[in-house]
A and B are shown apart, each in its own frame.
Chain A
Amino acid sequence: MIKRQLPLLIAFAMGVIFIIQFFIPHQISQDLLTWVNKWLMIIGGISLLLGIYSLLNFHYLQIFRNKPGWGFSLIMFFSFLISVVVGFTPSLINVILPLPESSVQSAEQVKEWYRITGLKDGSSLDWIFRHGITPLSATMFSIIGFFIASAAFRAFRARSLEATLLLLAAVFIMLGQTPLGGMLWSGIPDIMTWILSTPNTAAKRAILFGIAMGSISFSLKIIFGIERAYLGGKN
Chain B
Amino acid sequence: MPWFRILFLGLISLLGFNNDIFAQNTLVSPQDFTAFDTPNDAGGSVSLTWRVVPENNKPEVPYLILAATAPDGPWFEQTTLVNLKSDYPQYFGLSASNKLWSYCEITDFKQSLTDDNPKPITATTYFKLAVTDGSKTLGFSSVVSAMHQGNWFDASKINILIFVVIFSFVIMFFISLARKNPDLFIRRIPGLDAIEEAIGRATEMGKPILYLNGLDGMGSLSTIAATSILGKVARKVANYDSQIKVPCRDPIVMSVCQEVVREAYLEAGRPDAYNQDNIFFITDDQFAYAAAVDGLMVRHKPAANLYMGYYYAESLLLAETGAAIGAIQIAGTDSITQLPFFITTCDYTLMGEELYAASAYLSREPLQTGSLKGQDFTKGLIILILILGSLASTAGITFLVNLFKTF
Within 8 A of A (CB), among B243-301: 250-252, 254-256, 259-264, 266-267, 277, 280-288, 290-291, 295, 299-300
B136 → A minimal CB distance (Å):
40
- Whether, in the assembled complex, B224 has its beta carbon less than 8 Å from a beta carbon of chain A, the answer is yes
Residues of chain A contacted by B277 (CB below 8 angstroms): 57-58, 61
User: Which B residues touch A215, using CB under 8 A?
Assistant: 221, 334, 356
Nearest neighbor of B357 in chain A, beta-carbon distance: A214
Q: What are 25 A-to-B residue pairs whose CB atoms are below 8 Å?
A: A23-B157, A24-B154, A25-B150, A26-B151, A27-B42, A30-B42, A48-B251, A50-B251, A51-B254, A52-B251, A54-B254, A57-B280, A68-B300, A137-B287, A143-B317, A144-B316, A209-B382, A210-B352, A213-B375, A215-B356, A217-B171, A220-B168, A227-B224, A227-B228, A232-B259
- Which residues in B have their C-beta under 8 angstroms from that of A107? none
Would you call A116 an interface residue if the criterion is a C-beta within 8 Å of the partner chain's C-beta atoms?
no
> Among B3-11, B190-198, B360-368, which stretch is in contact with chain A?
B360-368
A152 to B343, CA, bound (A): 11
In the assembled complex, the Cα of A155 lies from the Cα of B341 at a distance in Å of 10
A1 interface hit (Cβ, 8 Å): no
Whether A51 pairs with B153 at a CB distance below 8 angstroms is no
Residues of B within 8 A of A (CB): 40-44, 150-154, 157, 160-161, 164, 167-168, 171, 175, 217-219, 221, 224-225, 227-229, 231-232, 250-252, 254-256, 259-264, 266-267, 277, 280-288, 290-291, 295, 299-300, 313-314, 316-317, 320, 323, 334, 336, 339, 341, 343-345, 351-353, 355-357, 359, 363, 365, 367-368, 371-372, 374-375, 378-379, 382
Smallest CB gap from B224: residue in A: A230
The answer to whether A229 has its CB under 8 Å from any CB of chain B is: yes
- Main SS at interface, chain B: helix
User: Which residues of B sit under 8 angstroms from A47, Cβ to Cβ?
Assistant: 250-252, 255
Contact A51 to B320, CB < 8 A, known contacts A24-B153, A216-B167, A232-B263: no
Does any Cβ of B come within 8 Å of A102's Cβ?
no
Measured CB to CB, the residues of A under 8 A from B are: 19, 22-30, 40, 43-44, 47-52, 54-55, 57-58, 61, 68-69, 72, 133, 136-137, 140-141, 143-144, 147-148, 150-152, 154-156, 204, 207-211, 213-222, 226-227, 229-235
